[in-house]
Structure 1
Amino acid sequence: MDEQKQFPKSLMQAVRYFADADVCVEFVAGMRWPNGASCPHCSGAKVSYLKTRRIFKCMAKDCHKQFSAKTGSIFEDSPIPLDKWLTAVWLVVNCKNGVSSYEIARDLNVTQKSAWFMLHRIRLALQNGSFEIMGGDEGGPIEVDETFIGGKPKNMHAAKRAKAQIHGQHTDKPVVFGMLERKTRQVRAKVIPNVKRDVLQAEILNQVAPGSFVFTDAHKGYQGLAEKTFIHETVSHLNEYVRGSVHTNGIENFWSLLKRSLAGTYVAVEPFHLGRYVDEQMFRFNNRTTRDNPLTDADRFVLAVSQIAGKRLTYAELTGKVEETSSEPF
C-alpha cells in the first residue's frame, strides 16, 4: 500500500483519507463484510458492485435488490456522504468530553438538526450490550454505585428546590446505575427508574457472579447483599472514602467524566435521551488508552465502525413519535 493510502492515525489524516468517496465505500463495506459483501435483504453472497453508482446488486434469483454500504446500518437513508459520517465517528469516539452537535455542524457544514441526529445514531452504534457475568475469580471486586443527573440544588428556584429535595434525595432527577470491575477496569452503566432496593439489587444479581466481592457506599438499597451469596463491604461517606481496598472511587471517576461531558459539552440533556449519552461515555471509558490496553484513536474508530450494522434509528424513534426497536445495553 502506498504512503497516501496508509490508514489514518490522526483526525487530519482521517479527513484526507476519507475525502475519496470510493475509499469510504471500500472501508465501510470491508468493515461490514470482511469476507465479501452479502445482501442485507436475503443474505445472498452472490452480489455485483456497480462502480459508477457505488452500490451493490444482489444476483440471487428471487431477490435482485440493490443496496449500498449504508443499507442496514446507522447510516441508512442518510443523504449525508460517508466522508462526513466517518469524520463525525472519529470525533465522537476520541473526544474525551464528547463533542456537541453545534461543533459537528460547523466542522462538517451540516445543519445543527442533522448533526444532532447524526450523533444519536453514532451513539446507538457505540451501544455494546454484554451478557458476560462480572466478578468471580477472573474479574476481581465489583464497585457499585448510583448517581443522580441534573442541576445543583443551589441553582434551583426556591419552590422547585423544596419540592425536589426530600431527605437529601432529588426525586425528580433521572438515576444512572453503574458497576466497575476492578481487574478489567470495565464499566457497565444504565438509566434506572429509581433507587429502591429491589431495582438496585436486581441489577447486581443479573450481572455479578455469586461469591464476588461487591463494594458499595452505605445506601440502604444495598443492604442485604451479603445474604445473597455476595461478599459485601461498604464505606460510609459520612466518615470515610477508603478503607483498605474497600472503596467506590473507580466508579465515581466514571461519574465525574460523565457529568463533565453532560454539563460542559452537551449542557442540556433530556432524560428521554440520557441513556445514549451514558452509552457514549461508557464506550470511551472502556476503550481508553491504558498501560495494559494501549488503544489508539484509530483503534477506537475501527471498533466503532465495526458496530454500525444491524442498528437503525429513525427520526420518529429518536423524537419518541414511535417506539424504538433497538435493545437496551444490558
Structure 2
Amino acid sequence: MPMNRVQFQAGLSMPEFLERYGTEDKCRAALQAARWPKGFVCPACGGAARTRFERGGLPYWQCGGCQRQTSLISGTIFEASKLPLSRWFLDMQLLTQSKNNVSALELKRQLGVSYRSAWLMKHKILEAMRVAEGDRKLDGRIEVDDAYFGGEFCGGKTGRGTDNKVPFVAAVQTSPEGRPLYACLSAQPPTSEAMRAFAARHIAPSATVVSDGLWCFRATTRVGARHERIVTGGGKASMKLPQFKAVNTLLGNLKTAITGTYHAFDFAKYAHRYLAEFQFRFNRRFDMKNILPRLLQSLLAAPPSPEHSLRTAELGRLSGDQLPGDRPAGLGQPAD
C-alpha cells in the first residue's frame, strides 16, 4: 500500500514551534505581524500610530488621528486574558498538531493552568474555528450523510427517534478519484427544512450531491445542485458501498477522535464547536506546518468571546420539532 503523504507529512514539530514561538517576545512579534502586517492600523478610524508605549508588560499604540489607545490584544479573543501569549500559542500548537482531539483536562496538564482556564482557552479557539468555517462552500461531487452522537436511554426509543441522540449532517467534497478534499459538518436534524438551509450556505449550485435514500437530501436541489439518490437498505453492508467511502471514513475518524479523547462532554450544548474543530483541522490537513499561522489569522478575525457567551446553550441551532436532551446517554456530566 503506498504511503499516505498527507498523513505522514512532517507538520510543525515541537523544536520548530519553540524556535518560532518559544518566548513571550516571539509570540508578541508573531501576533503583531499577523494583526498589522503593514504597521499599526487604528481599529476605530484606520489611522496610523503616533506613539508606542508599554503598560503592564503589553505594548500599546496611540492613534495619531483619534488619539485612541489600543493594546496588542484588545478587540481579539486574547482580550482580558491574564495568561501570557506563550501559553496561548502552545495551546494552538497542541490543538492543531494532534491527530485526535485534545481534552481540556490534558491541556490543563500540558499548559500548567487551571481546568477552568484550559476549558475557556480551548473553547475560545474552537469558537474562532467555527467562525472561520461558517461559510465553507463545497462544489463538485459531494457525499452527504446524517449521523448521531449519544446513546439510547435504557428502556427508551431506539433508532433515529431516540430522545438522547444529537443529530448532525456531514458533507464531503471528493476529488475525481474519489478522495476526500473538504468537509462541512453541521449540528442539525435530518429534515428538509434544515437541509435547505444547509445547502443554501454550504453547497454550490454546480455541485452533484450523492446521498442515501433519506428524502430530506432532495432539498439540496433547491440551490440548483444535482442530486443522486442511492437506496442503501441500511445495515453494515451499506457502510461499505464505494459511493459513500469518503463520508463514512470521515464519520469514523470523527467518532474515533471524540470518543477516544473525552470521557464525557455535553455534546448537545457544544456540538457546533466540536464539529467545527474537526472540520477546521480536516480542511487544512494538507499543510500542517502552516496550520498554526492560519489559525492565528482566524483568531484575529473572530470577535471576542466572553465566558458567559461560550457557556450559553446552543440548542436553538438544532431546528427540529424536538430538541435533544442536554446529556447524551452514558456520557454523564460534561467534563470538557
Scaled to the shorter chain, the TM-score interval is 0.7 to 0.9
TM-score by structure 1 length? 0.79
Equivalent position of 2:208 in the other structure: 213
Answer yes or no: is 1:301 the counterpart of 2:292: yes
How big is the shift at 1:73? 1.2
Q: Which residue of 2 aligns with 1:176?
A: 168
For each residue in 1:192-213, what CA deviation from the matched residue of structure 2 results, as whole angstroms up to 9, or x when unmatched? 1x22222224422443233532
Segment drifting more, 171-180 vs 111-120: 171-180
Determine which of 245, 252, 257 is the counterpart of 1:261. 257
Which residue does 1:5 correspond to in 2? none
Instruction: Report the Cα offset of residue 223 of structure 1.
Output: 4.8
Partner of 2:274: 277
Distance 2:165 2:112 in 1: 35
Structure 2 counterparts to residues 18-57 of structure 1, below 5 A: 18-50=21-53, 53-57=57-61
The DSSP-based 3-state class of the residue aligned with 1:306 is helix
Matched-pair contact (CA < 8 Å) for 2:48–2:65: no
8 Å CA contact 2:195–2:219 kept in 1: the answer is no
* Count of residues paired in the alignment: 295
Moved over 6 A (4+): none
2:143–2:246 contact (8 Å) kept in structure 1: yes
RMSD over equivalenced CA pairs, Å: 2.9
The aligned counterpart of 2:331 is none
1:235 Cα deviation from its structure 2 partner: 4.3
Deviation at 1:82, TM superposition (A): 0.4
- 1:63 is aligned to 67
How many Å apart are 1:126 and its aligned residue?
Answer: 1.9
Three-state SS of the structure 1 residue aligned to 2:204 is coil
Alignment check: 8 A CA contact 2:129 2:298 kept? yes
What is the TM-score of this pair, normalised by structure 2? Answer: 0.78
Change (3 A) 1:234 1:74: same
Equivalent residue of 1:258, what SS? helix
Q: Kindly state the Cα deviation for residue 161 of structure 1 after the two structures are TM-superposed.
A: 3.4
Structure 1 distance, partners of 2:41, 2:255, is 41
Report if aligned partners of 2:34, 2:297 keep a CA contact under 8 Å in 1.
yes
Sort the Cα spacing of 1:259 and 1:229 in 2 relative to 1 into closer, same or farther, 3 A. Answer: closer
Could you list the per-position Cα deviations for residues 212-245 of structure 1 after superposition, in whole angstroms to 9, with x for gaps in the alignment? 32111122323576696524231405364566x6
Identify if the C-alpha distance between structure 1 residues 104 and 225 changes in structure 2 by more than 3 Å, giving closer, same or farther: closer
Work out the CA distance in 1 between the residues paired with 2:206 and 2:86.
49
Residue aligning to 1:314? 306
Structure 2 stretches lacking a partner, 5+ long: 1-10, 317-336
Amino acid at match of 2:138: M
Give the aligned residue type for 1:162: G
Matching of residue 195 in structure 1 with residue 190 in structure 2 = yes
How far off its partner does 1:169 sit?
A: 3.5
Match of 1:149 in 2: 149
How high is the sequence identity, in percent, across the aligned residues? 22
Alpha-carbon distance, 1:318 to partner = 1.4
Structure 2 match to 1:73: 76
Contact kept, 8 Å, 1:47 with 1:56, in 2: the verdict is no
Structure 1 residues 45 and 96, CA gap change in structure 2 (3 angstroms): same
- Contact 2:213 / 2:229 at 8 angstroms: preserved in 1? no
* Map 1:1-150 → 2, pairs under 5 A: 9-15=12-18, 17-50=20-53, 53-65=57-69, 67-127=70-130, 128-129=132-133, 131=135, 133-135=137-139, 140-150=140-150
Once residues 221 and 52 of structure 2 are traced to their aligned partners in structure 1, the CA distance between those partners, rounded to angstroms, is 60
Partner of 1:186: 182
